[in-house]
C-alpha cells in the first residue's frame, strides 16, 4: 500500500527569483506547509538575483527568466511533478511556453491587481493567451476573480479564489507593554512615543515618500522603515530631523510589528499585501491606501483606516484618529479577521483541494 505522501500529487513551486518578496514569500510558506503535511513539494526560481539574502535556499534554473536554458530546465524539472504552481507574473509566460505539450499542468497564482499590470490592449491579449494555457488560475480575492474572468474571458470554473496567507505562529502579538519596549530596544528604536512601521520595497510604486510626508505632520511620532530599494538614499537624506529609522531588510519583521503602534501602507498599487496580513496576525492595526484589494484585510472602522492614494495629509489625519481611538481594540479585531481568513493552515487547505482537483482532471 502506498504511503500518504506518495498518494498525494507532487508539486513544483516556481518563483521568478529567490528574493523575499510577496509572491516568493507565499510560495515559500506554502511549500513548507505542504512538506510539513507530508506532501511532496519542491521550490525553484527561474533566475538568480543579487538581492537574494540566501540564494542557496531556492535552487535556480537558469541565467535569466526566459533564457532557452532556463525554459529547458523548467521543462525537465516539471517531468518530476504532477502539478506546477507558478507564483508571480514572470512565471506565467515561462510555464506557458516551457510546459507546452509536456503533459504537466500548471496553476498560475495571480497576487496583484490585473488592472494594473495589463493596462494596454496588446498586453491583455498576450496575457490572456498565456492564462488560457493554465489548468487553473488562483485569484487572491473575489474581486480579482471577477476581473480575471471578465477581462480575459476565462471560464469561471477555472478561476478559484484563494487568499494570500501567512503562518500565524510566526507573528505573535506583543504580550504586554514590557514586550513592546523590549522589541523596540532590540531594534534600536525609541522607547517612548507613537511608533509607526513601514515595511516593503523602497520603490516608487510603494510610495515610501508619503510616509515621510505624513510623519512631518505627526509631532512626537517616529517612523521605522524596513526594506531596501532604489529610493533608500533619497529618503534618508530627506529625514533631516532624524525622526525615521531605516532598518534595511529584516529577515523577520515580527519584532517590528510587536514594537509598533500602527502599520503604514502607502502604495499606489497592491493586490492583497502580505505585510498587512502579517501585521494583522500580530495584532497591529493599519492605516493604508485604498488600492487593489486592501479592503480584504483592513476592515474599515474595525481593524484600521483607509485613505485615498497619494494623500499624505489624509494619512496623517488617519494616524491621529487611530491613535486617539486606541489601537489595541483595532489590533485585536485585525487579528481575529486574519486568523479566520489568512492563516496559512486555512489557505493551505484550499490549495490542497485545488491541486488535487487539477491532478485528478489530468488523470481522468
Three-class SS string for 215-239? HCCCCCCEEEEECCCCCHHHHHHHC
Is residue 237 located within the same domain as residue 155?
no
Tens digits of residue pLDDT in 231-253: 999 999 999 889 999 999 998 99
For residues 14-18, give the mean pLDDT. Answer: 96
What is the distance of C-alpha 345 from the center of its chain? 16
Tens digits of residue pLDDT in 100-113: 999 999 999 998 77
- Packing angle between helix 121-131 and helix 142-152, nearest 10 degrees? 100
pLDDT band for 258, please (50, 70, 90 cuts). very high
Domain membership of residue 247 (yes or no) is yes
Q: Is the dihedral of CA 357, 358, 359, 364 positive or negative?
A: positive
Is residue 99 located within the same domain as residue 130?
yes
Round the average pLDDT of the chain to a whole number and report it.
92
Which residues make Cβ contacts (< 8 Å) with residue 30, sequence separation at least 6?
13, 85, 165, 344, 347, 348, 351
Tens digits of residue pLDDT in 178-190: 999 999 999 999 9
For residues 143-151, give the mean pLDDT. Answer: 90
User: Which grid cell sits at 212?
Assistant: 515621510
pLDDT confidence of residue 288: 98
User: Which grid cell sits at 222?
Assistant: 517616529
Is residue 157 located within the same domain as residue 198?
no
Is residue 316 located within the same domain as residue 353?
no
CATH number of the domain that residue 282 is part of: 3.40.50.2000
Residue 152, SS3 per DSSP: helix
Domain membership of residue 95 (yes or no) is yes
Can you give the residue range of the structural domain that contains 175? 168-341
Domain membership of residue 66 (yes or no) is yes
**pTM > 0.85:** no
Is residue 142 located within the same domain as residue 194?
no
* pLDDT at 115 exceeding the cut of 90: no
Per the CB < 8 A criterion, the answer to whether 139 and 164 are in contact is no
CB atoms within 10 A of CB 282: 27
Q: How many domains does the chain have?
A: 2
Domain membership of residue 1 (yes or no) is no
pLDDT confidence of residue 119: 67
Is residue 217 located within the same domain as residue 275?
yes
Is residue 157 located within the same domain as residue 197?
no
Domain membership of residue 4 (yes or no) is no
Is residue 189 located within the same domain as residue 333?
yes
Which residues make Cβ contacts (< 8 Å) with residue 242, sequence separation at least 6?
none
Nearest to 262 by CA among 280, 249, 250: 280
What is the distance between the alpha carbons of residues 167 and 41, in angstroms, rounded to a whole number? Answer: 18
Tens digits of residue pLDDT in 298-349: 999 899 999 999 999 999 999 999 999 989 999 999 999 999 999 999 999 9
pLDDT band for 59, please (50, 70, 90 cuts). very high
* pLDDT at 3 exceeding the cut of 60: no
Amino acid at each position: 500500500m502506498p504511503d500518504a505522501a506518495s498518494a498525494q500529487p507532487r508539486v513544483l513551486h516556481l518563483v521568478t527569483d529567490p528574493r523575499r518578496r510577496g509572491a516568493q514569500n507565499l510560495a515559500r510558506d506554502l511549500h513548507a506547509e505542504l512538506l510539513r503535511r507530508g506532501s511532496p513539494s519542491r521550490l525553484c526560481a527561474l533566475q538568480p538575483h543579487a538581492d537574494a539574502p540566501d540564494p542557496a535556499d531556492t535552487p535556480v534554473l537558469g541565467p535569466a527568466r526566459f533564457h532557452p536554458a532556463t525554459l529547458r530546465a523548467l521543462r525537465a524539472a516539471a517531468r518530476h511533478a504532477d502539478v506546477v504552481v507558478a507564483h508571480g507574473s514572470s512565471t506565467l509566460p515561462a510555464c506557458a511556453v516551457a510546459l507546452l505539450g509536456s503533459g504537466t499542468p500548471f496553476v498560475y497564482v495571480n497576487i496583484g491587481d490585473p488592472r494594473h499590470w495589463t493596462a494596454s490592449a496588446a498586453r491583455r491579449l498576450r496575457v490572456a493567451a498565456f492564462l488560457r494555457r493554465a489548468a487553473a488560475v488562483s485569484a487572491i480575492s473575489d474581486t480579482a476573480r471577477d476581473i480575471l474572468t471578465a477581462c480575459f474571458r476565462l471560464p469561471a470554473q477555472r478561476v478559484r479564489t484563494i487568499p494570500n496567507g501567512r503562518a500565524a505562529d510566526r507573528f505573535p502579538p506583543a504580550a504586554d507593554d514590557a514586550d513592546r519596549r523590549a522589541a523596540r530596544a532590540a531594534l534600536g528604536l525609541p522607547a517612548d512615543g507613537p511608533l509607526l512601521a513601514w515595511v516593503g520595497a523602497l520603490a516608487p510604486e510603494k510610495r515610501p515618500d508619503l510616509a515621510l510626508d505624513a510623519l512631518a505632520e505627526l509631532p512626537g511620532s517616529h517612523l521605522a522603515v524596513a526594506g531596501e530599494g532604489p529610493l533608500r538614499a533619497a529618503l534618508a537624506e530627506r529625514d533631516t530631523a532624524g525622526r525615521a529609522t531605516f532598518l534595511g531588510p529584516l529577515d523577520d519583521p515580527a519584532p517590528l510589528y510587536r514594537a509598533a503602534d500602527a502599520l503604514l501602507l502607502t502604495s499606489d498599487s497592491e493586490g492583497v499585501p502580505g505585510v498587512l496580513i502579517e501585521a494583522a496576525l500580530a495584532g497591529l492595526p493599519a492605516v493604508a491606501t485604498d488600492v487593489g484589494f486592501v479592503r480584504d484585510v483592513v476592515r474599515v472602522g474595525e481593524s484600521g483606516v483607509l485613505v485615498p492614494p497619494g494623500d499624505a495629509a489624509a494619512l496623517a489625519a488617519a494616524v491621529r484618529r487611530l491613535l486617539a481611538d486606541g489601537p489595541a481594540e483595532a489590533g485585536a479585531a485585525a487579528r481575529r479577521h486574519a486568523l479566520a481568513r489568512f492563516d496559512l493552515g486555512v489557505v493551505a487547505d484550499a490549495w490542497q483541494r485545488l491541486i488535487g482537483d487539477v491532478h485528478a482532471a489530468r488523470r481522468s
